[in-house]
Amino acid sequence: MLRPIVRFQADAIAADVSAALLAHGVVIIERLADPALCDRLATELQPWLDATPVGADSFSGRNTRRTGALLARCPSSVAVVAHPLVLEVVNATLWPKKTTYQLHLTQSIAIGPGSDAQMLHRDHWCFDMFPFPRDIDVEVSTIWALNDFVEANGATRVVPDSHRTPDSEPYTAADTVPAEMPRGSVVLYLGSTVHGGGANTSTASRIGINVDYVLGWLRQEENQYLSYTLDEVKQFPEHIQRLLGYEVGAYALGYIDGGRSPMTLLRQGDPGDAQSFAPR
């Protein structure tokens, strides 16, 4: 029997959301972004959506427009990328022995009318299908709804409780449930959870903002160092700079000059960066 997706409201406790995410592989937090934030995001996004070509293959979607580098293109996206509740959930969910995690990608995904359903997949397959131990979660993916997500417009389809099953498990569309949710809601799922964009049989695009997070020792899917100029990065708040990967990952990943934290490139003087493994 298909299980419904566990739902929370915006006042949820991060530990409860993380526990449900670890138990079922997927959760929804309803109306976490208020309507004014959704309006700002939609307005900032529109010119970029208009300029974005459709995908080149069936996985990215031949009638789906994916626009990346959202932190620069849609300044309001900072509020969703670094939403305190989501970051707390991500921190509580990723492999407990991690020392750092980082942004994996930001993109809007506009599934156009007439689109077929995307192939079912697990997002952590991007790491060359590496067989991560099933009890180590290396990635958390999120999709924020910029319009109501309903089955007919391509709400993300998810297989609850699929996150601990072997890759060989032959899931089909019949095993999926649509992550239907009102505008401003966010669906969170693990890198190991089987899912895919839904078919859009409606007459309007389904617009989501996809923000993924990974452990600090994995390569980021969207190259965060080349997606934003150094001048743009200098304008971002410090917690965003760190999330992008400008702090040292784990003990010594990504240092410069024999031991300096890249944070020293962004801040005048000493950033007081405890993550740098110095000597500076």
Ligand X SMILES: O=C(O)CCC(=O)C(=O)O
Site for ligand X, rule CB under 6 A: 109, 111, 118, 123, 143, 156, 195-197, 208
Q: Residue 77 Cβ, how far from ligand X at the closest point, in Å?
A: 16
Spacing of C-alpha 237 from chain mean position: 19
Q: Does 212 bind Fe ion (CB under 5 A)?
A: no
Residue 42 has a CB neighbour count (10 Å cut-off) of 18
DSSP character at residue 117:
P
Residue number, 160 or 208, with CB nearest to ligand X: 208
**Sheet of 186-190: strands edge to edge?**
6-8, 26-29, 186-190, 139-145, 206-215, 101-111, 64-68
Q: Residue 191 Cβ, how far from Fe ion at the closest point, in Å?
A: 9
Residue number, 67 or 118, with CB nearest to ligand X: 118
| Cis peptide bond N-terminal to 47, omega within 30 | no
Non-local CB neighbours of 227 within 8 Å, separated by 6+ positions: 68, 69, 72
Residues 120-139 that bind Fe ion (CB under 5 A): 123
Q: Residue 122 Cβ, how far from Fe ion at the closest point, in Å?
A: 8
Query: CB of 133 within 8 A of CB of 192?
Result: no
CA–CA distance, 40 with 212 (Å, rounded to integer): 21
Residue number, 137 or 273, with CB nearest to ligand X: 137
Tokens of 214: 């990974």
Q: Residue 6 Cβ, how far from ligand X at the closest point, in Å?
A: 18
CA–CA distance, 126 with 272 (Å, rounded to integer): 34
Residue number, 208 or 254, with CB nearest to ligand X: 208
Q: Residue 121 Cβ, how far from Fe ion at the closest point, in Å?
A: 6
Contacted entry of ligand X, Fe ion, none for residue 107, CB cut-off 5 to 8 Å set by kind: none
Residues 65-124 that bind Fe ion (CB under 5 A): 123
Contacted entry of ligand X, Fe ion, none for residue 18, CB cut-off 5 to 8 Å set by kind: none
Residue number, 71 or 111, with CB nearest to ligand X: 111
CA–CA distance, 175 with 161 (Å, rounded to integer): 10
Name the site residues for Fe ion (rule: CB under 5 A): 123
